[in-house]
Chain A
Amino acid sequence: MAERHPHPKSFPHKEGGTSSPVSSPSLPGGGRGRGMGRSQTARSARWENIARGLYRFRSNRLSMIGLMMLICILLIAVFAPVIAPYPEDAAGKTRVSARLQPPSEDFAFGTDKVGRDIFSRVVMGAGLALQVGTVIILLATSIGVTIGAISGYAGGWIDDLLMRVTDIFLTVPALVLAIAISAALGKGIINAMIGISLVWWPGFARLTRSLVLSLREEPFVEAAYGIGAGHMRIIFRHILPNAVSPIIIKMTTDFGFAVLTAAALGFIGLGAQPPTPEWGAMINDGRRYFPDEWWIATFPGLAIWLMVFSWNLIGDGLRDVLDPRSRR
């Protein structure tokens, strides 16, 4: 990585990025590799890349704003039961006497058709949205990385077969297949998450395969093979650890869109079912009352936007960390 970096000057260390700022003090100042244990070199090189990445990320003001927004959302999600004035409304408690109230002192975001406090439901929905995004991304990553790693490492007909399967999923826009799978599994937030994950993995498979293809040719893989390491050990201990950062970055850039897709399914009526405080389903709920009782659908929509925007800001900065060419 260091040698290919086009602008060594942008890195704050005088040695031009060849020494590691965080590795053990026994490292000689100028070069790396010679005379050291292999694993130590690998580790220090990795640390160096992480430190460089962190620096690039921190110097991107927009991404830092995104990160701060996300931390705020996270705090809101954690302390939701304390912040929400009527936390029981998320579970579906009704208050018929106060139905369809506009925003007021009692109900900051107004109330819906059965008198539930929109503000409480939006706040209580933050944790749900984060969980939904996390589950989708983790499931999609585990499927995609496994298939991509096998495909890239094995090569030959296994690679052909797995990539053809991946292509089939990529021929149809994800949302269409997600709708079909979620509909088949039955309405509900869990099934929607499964449906979205099942169409989300091909991107991760393609990415992992391309990373594994180039890493497979590295001398350290040959060396590991030479000392008798098995295929599983080579894939999991030697190849995948070196492919982690691009995968993590894709997980981050995809997160916002996964949240949007889940909300879309909720909006269609396939995802979360009432009274779950899922933002997409809440918009669907408020649609009949829009625009006269505008607050029912407006605030959940703003909440979705805020979360997706913060993830996209973070992802935008992370992408530059991975690919310095994309922003210079």
Chain B
Amino acid sequence: MNIRVYILRRIALIIPTLIGLSVLTFSIARIVPGDPVGLAAGPRATEEIKEALRREFGFDQPLPIQYVSYMAGLFRGDWGESLYTRRKVVSELRAFWPATLELTTAAVIIATLLGVPAGVISAMYRNRLPDHVARVLSLFFVSFPSFWLAMIFQTWFGRDLGLFPIGKRLPVLVSPPAPTTGLFLIDSLVQLDFETFLVSLRHLFIPALVLSFGAFASITRITRASMVEALEKDFVRMERAIGIPYRVIIFKYVLRNALIATITVISLNFGWLMAGAILIETIFDWPGLGLYAVHASLSLDFQPIMGIAILYGVVFSVVNILTDIVYGILDPRIRYG
């Protein structure tokens, strides 16, 4: 099958899943036993004010009608309005999303840069000291509650050693680069503003490092396992027999064969870290979706939560499709069908 047809078909297949997701988030939001309207209206609101709010948000309509109008809104790009801030969910997501994307992507890159070499070394020194060290270290770090480790690192590297800023994306006095993508690193590079680039890199590093620990163990494990499997293939024996240096075999042939499984795990981790970012952001005052999500969930503000869940669903599905495309580039034997 042609790759273009394949991608189009994959995109078409996301749609029923996302419709299902919207049903799911809608049901979660509407089985609320609490009283979101009462909470948003404040303790002194009279029954009339609450009634008016309810009518304004359509909570007085029958559930199927509420759902249909919510769905119609989703397609029109109207994802509802926050009960709390009274702003459009779409514009808030647009404002907060780039920060989370930047943090998550940086964490995935760090986890890959740490995890893949650790896995390769583990496989090369199988059941010897480096292997055991890599294994214990990865389990050691993945077991920390990320939000706690974030506090500790913030204090050590930010306050005590003064090596890194303790929070936010940029210092108060530095104005962010003009938004093209909203990712400060890319925007500042595009505008050749290297100073802002370095400053935001320093702000990004510690949060991204802490977040990356969550993915380190699974990436190391899968890289090791698939490297070990690839090392036992006949072609490795043949290549060694004809005298190709071991390092060349490892990096040119074995790693490439082993990376398919690793890339699957990396793309799964992207989704998990995107969720983990919620916790890290609250510590580093990182102005992303996390702070927004936590605040919304504590104040029973469900339009933003539904919006975040659907956004995460879309992003995760897109990442999965991209992964499939990367497979084909890495391994030409893979046929799309």
Chain A residues in the interface with B (C-beta under 8 A): 62, 164-165, 167-169, 171-177, 179-186, 256, 260, 263-264, 267-270, 280, 283, 287, 290-291, 294, 297-298, 300-301, 304-305, 308-309, 312-313, 316, 325-328
Query: Could you list 5 examples of A-B contacts with CB < 8 Å?
Result: A171-B312, A173-B275, A301-B144, A308-B143, A312-B143
Evaluate contact between B145 and A291: CB separation under 8 angstroms.
Answer: no
Evaluate contact between A328 and B126: CB separation under 8 angstroms.
Answer: yes
The 8 A-B residue pairs with the shortest CB-CB distance, nearest first, are: A173-B275, A301-B148, A175-B275, A183-B297, A309-B143, A168-B20, A308-B143, A171-B313
Residues of A within 8 A of B31 (CB): 184
Tell me how far the C-beta of B36 lies from the nearest C-beta in chain A, rounded to whole angstroms.
Answer: 9
Evaluate contact between A313 and B297: CB separation under 8 angstroms.
Answer: no
Residues of A within 8 A of B298 (CB): 183, 268-270
> With A164-B20, A184-B32, A268-B279 given, is the CB distance from A172 to B309 under 8 Å?
yes
Residues of B within 8 A of A176 (CB): 275, 278, 293, 308-309, 312
Tell me how far the C-beta of A51 lies from the nearest C-beta in chain B, rounded to whole angstroms.
Answer: 23
Report Cα–Cα, A269/B278, bound state, in Å: 13
Q: Told that A173-B274, A184-B300, A301-B148 touch, could you supply 11 new A-B pairs with CB distance under 8 A? A: A164-B17, A175-B275, A179-B294, A179-B305, A182-B297, A264-B145, A270-B297, A301-B152, A312-B142, A312-B143, A326-B221
Report Cα–Cα, A327/B302, bound state, in Å: 45
Q: Which of B59-67, B132-140, B183-191, B246-254 contacts A (4 or more CB under 8 A)?
A: B132-140
Report Cα–Cα, A174/B312, bound state, in Å: 11
Evaluate contact between A173 and B312: CB separation under 8 angstroms.
Answer: yes
Residues of A within 8 A of B142 (CB): 312
Report Cα–Cα, A184/B300, bound state, in Å: 7
Residue B147 at the chain A interface, CB threshold 8 Å: yes
How many A-B pairs have beta carbons closer than 8 Å: the answer is: 153
Report Cα–Cα, A179/B298, bound state, in Å: 9
Evaluate contact between A325 and B305: CB separation under 8 angstroms.
Answer: no
Residues of A within 8 A of B316 (CB): 171-173
Evaluate contact between B302 and A177: CB separation under 8 angstroms.
Answer: no
Q: Which of A169, A185, A268, A308 contacts B33 (CB 8 A)?
A: A185
Residues of A within 8 A of B33 (CB): 184-186
> With A283-B145, A291-B159 given, is the CB distance from A171 to B151 under 8 Å?
no
Q: Which of B264-317 contact A (CB under 8 A)?
A: 271-272, 274-276, 278-279, 282, 293-294, 297-298, 300, 302, 305-306, 308-309, 312-313, 316-317
Residues of A within 8 A of B42 (CB): none
> With A173-B312, A326-B221 given, is the CB distance from A179 to B278 under 8 Å?
yes
Tell me how far the C-beta of A212 lies from the nearest C-beta in chain B, rounded to whole angstroms.
Answer: 23
Report Cα–Cα, A294/B282, bound state, in Å: 18
Report Cα–Cα, A325/B148, bound state, in Å: 35
Residues of B within 8 A of A328 (CB): 126-127, 228
Report Cα–Cα, A126/B221, bound state, in Å: 29
Q: Which of B21, B31, B127 has the most CB of A within 10 A?
A: B21
Residue B25 at the chain A interface, CB threshold 8 Å: yes
Contact mask B152-174 → A, CB, 8 Å, 1/0? 10010001000000000000000
Residues of A within 8 A of B139 (CB): 62, 309, 312-313, 316
Residue B16 at the chain A interface, CB threshold 8 Å: yes
Residue B245 at the chain A interface, CB threshold 8 Å: no
Q: Which of B196-238 contact A (CB under 8 A)?
A: 217, 221, 225, 228-229
Tell me how far the C-beta of A178 lies from the nearest C-beta in chain B, rounded to whole angstroms.
Answer: 9
Contact mask B17-36 → A, CB, 8 Å, 1/0? 11011001100110111100
Evaluate contact between A183 and B300: CB separation under 8 angstroms.
Answer: yes
Report Cα–Cα, A182/B271, bound state, in Å: 20
Report Cα–Cα, A320/B34, bound state, in Å: 46
Q: Which of B1-56 contact A (CB under 8 A)?
A: 16-18, 20-21, 24-25, 28-29, 31-34
Residue of A nearest to B278 (CB): A175
Tell me how far the C-beta of A262 lies from the nearest C-beta in chain B, rounded to whole angstroms.
Answer: 10
